Amino acid sequence: IPPARKLNIALVGLGRYANILADGLLVAQHCRLAGIVTGTPEKAKDWKKRFNLDDKNIYNYQNFDQIASNKDIDLVYVVTPNALHKEYVLRAAKAGKHVIVEKPIGISVEEARDMITACEKAGVQLAMGYRLHYEPYNMEMKRMGQERIFGKVKLVEASLGYKAISNPGEWRLHKALSGGGPLMNLGVYCVQAGRYITGEEPISVTAQYGPVTYPDIFKEVEESITWQLQFPSGAICTSSSSYNCGIDRLYAAADEGFFELSPAISYGPFQGRTSNGPLKFPETNQQAVQMDEIAKVILAGKRLPDHISGLEGLLDMKVLMAIYQAADSGKKIAI
């Protein structure tokens, strides 16, 4: 039986990823694009037409707080640059709206805590925009690791990089808006994979920055970074994230075999195999599935599971900050 109604979502920050989310919302079953919050009037006009939006559901950053009295918006999805997540999460919570926040949750552990506290106080739910938590290949990696299908996992290799950033105006290159370089943007997925494949929280980390080969571009944030996480069971996760080369893979070596994906983290299509043979799952619309699964929980009046909540973003942020500390100091850092 279809649900009585769809969850009404407003996207905040109509950039590249918001467009991909909007496409996902067109095919979603349990939620729909109902509103937008944008600082660019031309985008407001264009989106209104493209998605047939009601004028009263279109906000800018100044009048956004008026969304509190708009019964036609249930949830606000924050898709701004990282350093602006906190402001919009807090304003959405204050307006009594549930929130999804894009990765990474913010730019510090303190910000993550503030967002979680604000949502708890306001009685709204805070979800992370972790699309891979509902993606079949990644969830199979998680299952094979946590259920020890090939025995105990000893070593995970998780890396993500791309070579696309050359515009010096890009916010990702500016530390005040991004909080850091490829580690914040891409490395967060590798930390996630290490955590969901082992099912453990890392206890310590060592890390090294790569060389700066494009000094005109990488003035404020790292160009590449490599790190090694150690888990309580003795498992290790080694990772690189980079803005100077393409890499997109997960590999897990366990006592009795291996399992891997490459591509693994991007928008797919993914490819995977284990020591027993190839993996084959249907391709999904990652964004539609993620928002649908979150919408179902909220529409049912249930609490979101921890793995998709703000807490998960906080746990990742702790690790990201420890990685920077390790790379800055050259020392092994306890987490």
Query: Cis peptide before 305, with omega less than 30 degrees from 0?
Result: no
Tokens standing for residue 315 = 């746990």
In this structure, the number of other CB atoms found within 10 A of the CB of residue 152 comes to: 13
Nearer to ligand NDP, 82 or 198 (CB): 82
For residues 86 and 127, give the distance between their C-alpha atoms in angstroms, rounded to a whole number: 13
Query: How far apart, in Å, are the Cα atoms of 288 and each of 164, 307, 334?
Result: 25, 18, 37
Q: Starting from the edge strand earliest in sequence, which strands make up the sheet with 58-59, in order?
A: 58-59, 31-37, 7-12, 75-78, 98-101, 126-128
Tokens of 273: 């195999």
Q: Closest separation between CB of residue 67 and ligand NDP, Å?
A: 15
CA distances, 257 to each of 106, 193, 194, 237, 278 (Å)? 37, 18, 17, 16, 13
- Tell me how far, at minimum, the Cβ of 19 lies from ligand NDP, in Å: 8
Residue number with CB closer to ligand NDP (44 or 118):
44
Smallest distance from the beta carbon of 171 to ligand NDP, in angstroms?
A: 5
Q: Which residues contact 150 (CB under 8 A, 6 or more apart)?
A: 144, 252, 254, 255, 256, 257, 258, 259, 274, 275
Taking the least distance from each CB to ligand NDP, the nearer of 86 and 274 is 86
| CB closer to ligand NDP out of 28 and 144 | 28
Beta strands in 194-282 (DSSP E): 204-209, 224-230, 236-242, 247-254, 257-261, 272-274, 277-279
Q: Nearer Cβ to ligand NDP, position 185 or 244?
A: 185
Taking residue 247's Cβ as centre, other Cβ atoms within 10 Å add up to 19
In angstroms, give the least distance from the CB of 90 to ligand NDP. Answer: 15
Burial label for 54, CB within 10 Å (0-12, 13-18, 19+), is exposed
Report the interhelical angle of 310-329 vs 188-198 (nearest 10°).
110
Q: Which of 77, 88, 189, 251 is catalytic?
A: 189
- Whichever of 93 and 160 has its CB closer to ligand NDP, that residue is 160
Minimum distance of ligand NDP from residue 304's CB (angstroms): 17
Q: Whose Cβ is closer to ligand NDP: residue 129's or residue 181's?
A: 129
Q: Is 97 a catalytic residue?
A: no
Chain centroid to Cα 209, Å, comes to 22
Active site residue 45: no
User: At 7, which amino acid appears?
Assistant: L
The minimum distance between CB 95 and ligand NDP, in angstroms, equals 18
Smallest distance from ligand NDP to CB 280, Å:
23
How is residue 125 written in tokens? 């739910």
Please identify the residue of the shown chain whose CB is closest to the bound ligand NDP. Answer: 15
> Which residues are near ligand NDP by CB under 6 A?
13-18, 38-40, 43, 79-82, 84, 102-103, 129, 131, 171, 185
Whether residue 246 contacts residue 236, with contact meaning beta carbons closer than 8 Å, is answered with no
Per the residue annotation, which of 6, 103, 137, 196 is the catalytic one? 103
Residues taking part in catalysis: 103, 189
